[in-house]
A and B are shown apart, each in its own frame.
Chain A
């Protein structure tokens, strides 16, 4: 900008020559300059205001556009965050104590139809019936012609079936992904695992729910997304379970029994290493529950947990142990066994006459009901009931199966003297084989209570003391004699020093009495007897050994040989080395022998 001088010489000179005051020119020019300056400042200010307005407009506009965009767009997971932890939606696996798979999932497909899109429903129905034998072509045709817009055809189909349906090439037949529970070992441990069913179903997924066994008892654990698919580890040993089931099935057939059950428990921890109930079922294809008749005849019935039975003489060691703990008797104390023992209008008899008196040890070895009943009278009703209660024999076990609470022991409400006497030898009280296993474990592991569990334990639990170490040791030695010289002589397994007690109980009939020719044979055993590691309970329902001239039903002839075979097979699998016999040291024989 060219600055205009305040006193331009030309105008000053001409003003001077004209006699005017030249200062007026300067004043005029100064005024003009100030006016121009004002105008410039005004324009600058206006420009700044417009600019500010523009900036505000743009800022608010950007915020507005962003807010609108956020409001109308579909929300999406933040990508960077989702990568840190990936949520597994599927049900967790179940594994055995050695990490072998017992239950897992596989991806299959479900089949559904949009009937309005089905071309030629007659042929389609016929082709579907060819692929799936359980589909009826006529009914399917009616369904496909119906007014429904959506039809479920199959819950889960195999890849081969999917391909076959795909080959029909009908646009109305559609597939949705489905996760299906698979039990790769088939029937093995079927009662423990239970089974699953589909819950809420959608096209893209379906809820898999446990309906029995551990699947149901641990349903929340298995479905918890927080655990990120952490498998459920059971205490079961797959190979031991397999051997146990195989032998038990063979034994059941050989002894002509209608059912059988076995429980193998670790004596110190209460962990169940194998448990079987026959007849059994395949959890992959769970049979329907019986709608009529006796529920215990169904293969779904778990005899080891749900079945409560009078287990007979297998209860005698509890009476003897309690009396020894109370200091009432010792192993060599003589007890009156003259029979029959009359109490009110009841008679207690022995299997055969054992003479006027027997030592406590012989009472167990020969299994004398009269002797045990007399010992129970020394103890008294109240103490006996309290002792059995502490052993956990009067309430359902805490085993982690949904069926657990249904195995509730039955015993007389009025625990009279006659009840005390019959209960002392296992009549008048019904418990499950799992109850018996846990109670035996407590008796022989040194005297501390264990809780039966199906979960692998990291450390042995410290249970309540039931009997002293000394009594436990004496009981072990007496029960060893039951095998070496008593009713369970078939139970001897070389190298494993088996000990235990037999029990043969007449089965109750519907008239309130007992069957004459139907028994429940039990062998409650443990091994090795000096330092017991395992407890094995084998029960056979209505066994009958027809090898001899007349049928033999007592446990010594039926349950004991089966249990011995189980121990012979299972003990090496458990890594239990046989006790070396002292007479055959180093495997050498003398030259002059």
Chain B
């Protein structure tokens, strides 16, 4: 435990001192504010453009915005935050391989699984806090401007996206065990997402792949049942556990 705590302390210090944490706080807060802001500004923007649109023959009626508009915006913006998050952390393992900094701690007797679990936990905790921040800010503004109760299953939908993020973080860990550069880790992440997306095109399996959770915002209107996403959530959780175990096994024999 002492070893794990010491290494995790270093990981957190790294995120603080390299400014990575600051960038992520800014991004999550910014997106949190942008969601209701964009929704709030939509009628005003429409009005600005209505004259031009009228000239081209389009008639603009009054646009109604409510909490749903803001939440839809939330689910549009979060993938962007996830991409930035993954890019920022793509080198969390590979930079250490390239510099050889892990050699010192491993030769001090630090168990390799502790390195892996520490890094993955730090990423997952920051992702969790980031999602909570963004969700909290959007939720707060929405409650102030409109009424959150018109939107259905918003928390569950957000959890689905959050879990999808956790899955990609675990893919990042797995890819980092095999790859030696941040670029190849990003490629592997792209490939994992692509594979999940392509599998999702087959009706027989589409409800079981992780990327199915990206369609969870369909729940917001209340027309879809939450139970439809249950299998996908369970499979995703199982995948995270299996990927992490497999990563540790491979990491134990990796040339550092």
Q: Do A and B bind each other?
A: no
